[in-house]
Amino acid sequence: MPVEVRERECASDVIAVSLPQFQSTNRAASQQRIRLTASAHVPAAPQKVRDGGRMLDSHGRTILDLRISITDRCNFRCVYCMDPDVQFQRPENLLTPAEIIRVARVAETLGVRKIRLTGGEPTLHPQLTEIIAGIRAETQVEIAMISNGSLLTRHKLAQWKRAGLNRMTLSLDSLRAERFARLTRSTVTPDDVLAAIELCLAEGLTPLKVNAVLVRDQNDDEAVELARLARTFGIEVRFIEFMPLDSAHAWDRSRVVTAKETREAIESVFPLTPTDADEPHSTARTFSFADGSPGHIGFIAPVSNPFCGACSRLRLTADGHVRPCLFSTQEWSVMSVLRGGGSDQDLSNFLMDVTWTKLAGHNISSPAFVQPARPMSAVGG
């Protein structure tokens, strides 16, 4: 059954998602309807926080990294993310390039140093070059993009770099063609993504990172093969634990391959040494190869070893909702500010207010954990 999102009739309405496919098979949250608060009326942060001109949360963390989903569309249907029958938002419900650029500009004045363009698959956006160029013209932030690599060409990459893109992150979950097709439910091949790696390196969109999600009994025997890519290309390969962000809400902890397991598998062949170069707010813990080979290995462990304590990220969805956390069950619509005549100061206040609501951390390890209604493809990576 497709996603049905009721139109918001007022600024403080609630999105009601009617989704049998979002039912969980292993927790009491398996209900016919999952409600996600989506209010424009975010509680105000203390005046002293607003006066400080930074996106500061109530736990003392400052937002430095804004992840902007520019589209919810994707040409993959990865098994850990999106069911085949998920429907996408209508274009008129999504942020325009001008609105994305404006949020980026205001966010920089509040201390943001990095902007990640995500999706869905951001390279599907017909005005991607305009978005990159606009952000670059209005800001001096680092601009990176996360892509599945399926649609990259030398011409496009060169165009995006000229427009202001600094670097790329690609996804590759298997090097075996049949398995890759099964995981992504696409006709793309691992060779296509390997070619995309070479294209990104040729265009200097570096440091290049490649993300891999290992799922038990799906591709968990490929850790060493994927790690070898770091040595071959001199890049960073990052292993991300399987997170409860799938549209089917069928996530099962037993299918999580922990960072510890993955590291042990890699070190059985390639001993690793901590780089000790990670910033406190980094999502990954990175390692170099003990034998001095080029490349790095990173481990992102939101399930087994959450890094919430130093989180410096805020997310903007393609349909204009600001999420304090990837696992937020509450988000706030910025559309009333952007399309209701709000000033840049109104937008600044909105972003500071939402940041102030950021919780100390997610509770994946708690029996009380409730999976967010929206999957990764709708939230942005």
Q: Do residues 245 and 372 make contact, with C-beta atoms less than 8 angstroms apart?
A: yes
Residue 1, domain member (yes or no): no
DSSP symbol at 90: P
The CATH number given to whatever domain includes residue 106 is: 3.20.20.70
Q: Which residues pair with 167 in a beta bridge?
A: 144
Going by pLDDT thresholds of 50, 70 and 90, the confidence category of residue 281 is: confident
Residue 218, domain member (yes or no): yes
Residue 274, domain member (yes or no): yes
Going by pLDDT thresholds of 50, 70 and 90, the confidence category of residue 304 is: confident
Residue 6, domain member (yes or no): no
Q: Where are the alpha helices (DSSP H) in the chain?
A: 47-52, 97-109, 128-138, 154-163, 177-184, 190-202, 223-233, 259-267, 335-338, 344-356, 376-379
Lowest mean per-residue pLDDT among 75-79, 176-180, 203-207, 249-253: 249-253
Would you say residue 43 has pLDDT above 70?
yes
Residue 2, domain member (yes or no): no
Residue 294, domain member (yes or no): yes
pLDDT in tens, 219-236: 999 999 999 999 999 999
> Both tokens of residue 118?
């995500």
Q: How many domains does the chain have?
A: 1
- Domain residues for the domain of 36 are 14-379
Residue 7, domain member (yes or no): no
pLDDT in tens, 28-41: 333 322 334 445 58
Residue 5, domain member (yes or no): no
pLDDT in tens, 14-26: 332 322 232 333 3
At 288, which helix (H) or strand (E)?
strand 285-289
- Residue 86's pLDDT is 78
